[in-house]
A and B are shown apart, each in its own frame.
Chain A
């Protein structure tokens, strides 16, 4: 009896030993491979089945792992601001779907305030225009705006190039990304694009239901909300990006910053107070809402719409909010490949 027990114990111990050996081996193997990222190979740009064809012209900027990594480093690089204090990531925080969560308008250099709420950086490959007023129409040129804006990063592209050239790491990283020596503003902007293009949010419950992944289904409440959404919201917040990328005035009126939105770009009377229809993805992480962040909660936003032509009772409002919950993509906000 005792012997049997002992033999069993020794068997268990052996199993333990193998197990520990295995773990050590795994750790050693991982250390040897130098980087945890190597475990999942670089996939480049991947379009989900339920997404349309992207708008970005990838032929002009081939995405590579080195380019993506350089773009990521630049995105979190304070050298891109005049006094080397803030980076793109200061106002576009990964955990909040790359917004400046909790700030009505973003705080830039020396805590200067702009007049608009930082938009989330996600699914930019499908963007036809950029920013709340659509003043920029090419992703590669979009980074110039925050970099040179006096209340954001207040730096000149040409000066950043000088700073990066003097840096020990960057010359090698640019060479790795673009094949030849040389740091230019064009390369810097393209690398930033490579990083931002891969910030794709397509793993929400909604996406999985649409793709029929793992037999995932909406709850009855979500389904009811989805039908209401299609009836009342889908015209502007069109699936699957949840924006038709048009510019609209939803009756918020002129704010104290006297921001006329799209009008400042076109100077057309008809564009006064129009702003880009924002996506409804990841609302959980991107409060406050609207171009000036003046709506702190989704309930307040829903109230604003109901003061217009959309009439919903309390149950219906709850159902729509339940559907909007399914557009949150936690995996996107927690993705280590994107975080600082």
Chain B
């Protein structure tokens, strides 16, 4: 019954296929764990990776509230709130093997107004990593779990949770714009695929190639700081540019999928600082 349920809630399109995919995923997980565990002394040696989410709007640094930006539809807007979840982080080594950050240590709520939230940190085995993967949002399984497992950033009292249609808000962006008749715009994007009926799935996987701007070399006791540029203008002007006038308030509805597609592409690797000393952080 439980398998059946989870198979249905996973990124479901076809239930049968899902089940097979789930089984495959479980098998993969087990085999992956086996590969990760044995001998290699380096496995027990840990270093740290620190991600840095640097928010920009086109060619400018994001200034919450005060600055005015212009979208492709020539509408002016400000950004007062920008929050989104990052989760299910994975790092791929040069040889193609993957290190998956323990799931419950990989949920981070990035909030442009909270300095501390911009630097997710986690321990990884030493090695050189060439690819970073994460989800923008919260995986479907976590969306259905008991509240006891919704700790820290996942607490439902963070203002990133829909109470009436149970599920996390993956990205929240709000601000002012004269293009909107109310003077404000709200984008609350969520949708994990549905509990037992297939619904909108806005879980977006992001894959960042680290080779061009500097692989992440992790040494024991040292930090590798992966610096990402996040171009927030792409939320509006990405794959599907749209006007605030036409879509001043986007929440749980069809159009939210276009916005999710847009922000999926807003992350770019800028550079990496390897072998950083870890201060008493």
Contacts and interface: CB of A to CB of B under 8 A. Distances in A.
Interface stretch (A94-102, A154-162, A196-204): A154-162
Interface string B241-281: 00000000000111000000000000000000000000000
Contacts of B253: 267
B157 A185 contact: yes
Contacts of B196: 137
Contacts of B198: 266
B191 to A, nearest CB: 9
Interface residues of A, number: 32
Contacts of A207: none
Contacts of B206: none
B197 A137 contact: no
Contacts, number: 74
B163 A148 contact: yes
Interface stretch (A139-147, A225-233, A276-284): A139-147
On chain B, which size bracket covers the interface? 20 to 34
Contact of A141 (B159, B166, B200): B166
A190 interface: yes
A141 B163 contact: yes
A264 B165 contact: yes
Contacts of A267: 199-200, 252-254
B197 A185 contact: no
Interface string A186-228: 1001100000000000000000000000000000000000000
A145 B166 CA distance: 9
Given A137-B144, A140-B146, A186-B147, A265 B156 contact: no
Interface of B: 144, 146-148, 150, 155-159, 161, 163-166, 194-200, 252-254
16 contacts: A136-B166, A137-B144, A137-B166, A137-B196, A138-B166, A141-B156, A144-B161, A145-B163, A156-B159, A158-B159, A185-B156, A264-B252, A265-B197, A266-B194, A267-B199, A271-B197
Given A60-B146, A190-B148, 4 more contacts: A61-B148, A158-B157, A267-B254, A268-B197
